[in-house]
Amino acid sequence: FYCCQAVGRSMLPRAEGVIVNIASVTGIKPIEGRVSYSVPKAGVIALTKQLGIEWARRGIRVVGVAPAVVETDMVRQGAEQGHFDIDACVQRTPLRRLGQVEEIAESVLYLASDEASYITGETLQVDGGWVAYQLF
């Protein structure tokens, strides 16, 4: 919210710009035991929709990306500390692998580009099919 507000102050007078918020699939499909993570991510998705509507006529697009589990140092450390099971995440993902940082970055670049100029208020799920898969 504060970041959108801060960059909005410079974008709105110029009537141009794109804000890309980073959420999570847990903001769409919550997981037990992750309330302190999932609820704020749902808020980011709602903020993206709301600002996408409110600022569209003022020349600002607001979009988001909702990744599933991405292979990062933090994820590896969390798994090593027993906070979650990477193999279970892989098995739960229809593409049967974790996301890569580069894949998330490419999604952000696309949404910020002119190729996505008719997209606002939406959050793109970059999740290997995580949300579509109803088993877990």
Is-contact 47 30, C-beta < 8 A?
no
Question: Measuring CA to CA, which residue among 111, 113, 131 is closest to residue 122?
Answer: 111
Residue 37 known to be catalytic? yes
Helix (H), strand (E) at residue 119 = none
Q: CB-based contacts of 27: which residues, under 8 Å, 6+ apart?
A: 38, 39, 40, 41, 42, 43, 44, 45, 66, 123
**From 2, 37, 110, 133, active-site residue:** 37
**Count of helices and strands (H, E) across the chain:** 5, 3
Active-site amino acid positions: 37
